[in-house]
Each structure stands twice: as structure tokens, then as C-alpha cells.
Amino acid sequence: MSRKKKTALRSGGINPDHFNKSQFKFLLILAPICFVMALPLVFIFFNAFKPIDELFAYPPRFYVKNPTWENFSDLFAMASDTDVPAVRYLFNSIVSTAAVVILTVVISVCTGYVLSKKNFRAKKLLFTINTLGMMFASAAVAIPRYFVIVYTGLQDNFFANIIPLLVAPTGVFLIKQNIDQMPDALIEAAVIDGASDYKIISKIVFPLVSPAVATVAITTFQMAWGATEASTLYIDSEALKTFPFYINSLTGSAGGIAGVGMAAAATLILFLPNLIIFIIMQSRVMNTMMHSGIK
């Protein structure tokens, strides 16, 4: 193909390198959609800085007219009056979330590798069960999960913040679908060279499915960081409970008008880590979703 034809394709083809008038029709459709989808995120920021009179204004106002830090100062002032320091709850959340993310990634990669590259009886049945597990919301299995926690002796134990969240059928599905795209010859060559399954997973599989691993890590972080089920149902000791439960209990105990402002500030505090991590890792998430169904 001549240089002129290549230049013409770049300037007006399907994927031009720079902005072209042919892209305007897509921007005309997508820009309003993105604007509407961004409104809840912007509202969370505005709401956290609204003074009390604007929070209860009628008709409700989307933006904040007189921003203030009063909601945050009230939240931390009330936190300082509790028996267990807020730092303890935050430490519990950081440790439990990190443990859940690391263990979920390891379990998902190992399980996805076995379901994708190993041949054994009931392999398809197990994958079907894992896929069916994606249909159930956490609320649907809350009662069976509670009995499992009680009968295994994990009640009022710090591990109750971790173990119930390790079951991640979506993570296994995403990673398994990505491993399916790896050529079997690559695995066979490693086996011929004497590599064990551990080395194959750590040296070959893990680097090649790193976008899927990043996606699983992000979704797991979002789930574990905001989880309050264990602190509400399984744990009685305040020293073992997590930061989201602590924030929710603070805003709930405040009640009345002050509780609304504190709840808005707490929502922003819990939301920010999810937003920051997703912005940093969004390219990997999009890449994983694009290839998860391709074989």
C-alpha cells in the first residue's frame, strides 16, 4: 500500500491517529452518555462538602454553593470519642483487604490454570458450577455462610473478615478465559524443560494474564474494602471490626441532621480508594473485558 493511501486511512479511516471530523458523530453520542454516567460521582464529591442548610435545601441542589469541611471535622471529632481508636478499625480494613486481594488472586490464577490446561474428570462440571456461582448475590447466601462460619469456629475471629470473601467465581472465570488463549505448546515446552506447575504458573501464566489479574485485584479490592457483613454478623469484638462498619455505625449513631453530613463525608472517604485504583488500572480492566470471551 502506498504512503498516500496509508495517510488517507489515518486521516479518515476507521481508527485515525488524530481527531478527524468522521469521529464527531461518535463524540456526539458518547459525550452525553459519559456526562450522565459521571453525575453520581460528581454528586458524591459535592454532597460531602455541603453545609447542613444545603443538604436539606428544597428543591435539592446538585452542586455545592458554599463548600465546607464541617462534615469531615464532625466525623473525626466524633471518632476521637470512641473507646477503640479509629486507627484500629482502619488497620483491620487494610490488613484484611490486602489479604483478601492477594489470596483471591493466587486462588483464581491457580484454579483458572487447572480448569484451562489440565485434563481430569468432572472438569466441565466444576467450571459450570463456578459459572452458576456468579448468578448468586451475597445476600442470597448470607444464611448458609453464617452457619459455615459458626460451625468452623470462625465466629468472633479476625479471619471471618477474610475467608468468606475468598470465594470469587467471577475472578476464576475471567482468568480461566484469558488462560484459554495461551497456546498449549507453550505449556508443553515448559513441561519438557522440566518446569513444575508452580514454575509454570509463576513464570509463564501469571505474567501473561497480568491484565486479568489486575482486574480481579481491583474488583476484589472494591468488594473487600467496603464489606461490613463480617463485622455485622460474625464479629462481636470491636477491636476486630473494620473501618466501613465503624464509619456506618458512627453516622448511624449520630442521627438527626448532623448524621446526614457525616454520612456524606464518610461516603466520600470510602469511595476515594476505589476511584483512585480504578483510574490507575482502567486500561488493564478494559483489556481484560475485551478478551475474556475470546478463545
pLDDT tens-place string over residues 74-89 = 777 776 666 777 788 8
DSSP letters spanning 240-288: G--HHHHHHHHHHHH-HHHHHHHHHHHHHHHHHHHHHHHHHHHHHHHHH
Say yes or no to pLDDT of 193 above 90.
no
Which pLDDT value is given to residue 60? 78
Residue 5's pLDDT is 47
Q: 42 phi and psi, to 5 degrees?
A: -65, -40
Residues 6 or more apart from 225 whose CB is under 8 A from it?
93, 97, 244, 270, 273, 274
63-73 pLDDT per residue, tens: 888 888 888 88
**Poorest-pLDDT segment among 17-31, 101-115, 212-226, 276-290:** 276-290
Q: Is the pLDDT of residue 116 over 70?
A: yes
pLDDT > 50? residue 8: no
pLDDT at residue 294 in the model: 46
Q: For residue 232, what is the DSSP state?
A: I
What integer best gives the mean pLDDT of the chain?
A: 81
Find the mean pLDDT for residues 250-278.
76
Do residues 152 and 92 make contact, with C-beta atoms less than 8 angstroms apart?
no
Q: What is the mean pLDDT of residues 38-59?
A: 84
Neighbours of 198 (CB within 10 A): 9
Residue 92 sits at φ, ψ, to 5 deg, of -60, -40
- Judge whether 130 and 173 are in contact, CB under 8 Å: yes
Confidence of residue 9 (pLDDT cuts 50, 70, 90): very low
Q: pLDDT, tens digit, for every residue of 206-230?
A: 888 888 888 888 889 988 888 888 8
Within a 10 A sphere around the Cβ of 210, how many other Cβ atoms?
A: 14
- Residue 108: predicted pLDDT: 92
Show the DSSP H helices in 118-231 as ranges.
123-133, 142-151, 169-179, 184-192, 197-199, 206-208, 210-225, 229
Task: Compute the 3-state secondary structure of the chain and give helix, strand, coil in percent, each to the nearest 5.
Answer: 75, 0, 25
pTM equals 0.77
- Residue-level pLDDT at 256: 61
The pLDDT confidence band at residue 105, using thresholds 50, 70 and 90, is very high
Q: How confident is the model at residue 283 (pLDDT cuts 50, 70, 90)?
A: low
* Structure-model confidence comparison of residues 139 and 134, the more confident one: 134
- Confidence (pLDDT) at 103: 94
| pLDDT for the residue numbered 31 | 84
Q: What pLDDT is attached to residue 295?
A: 45
Report domain extents, the chain: 25-68, 84-291
CATH topology of domain 84-291: MetI-like fold (1.10.3720)
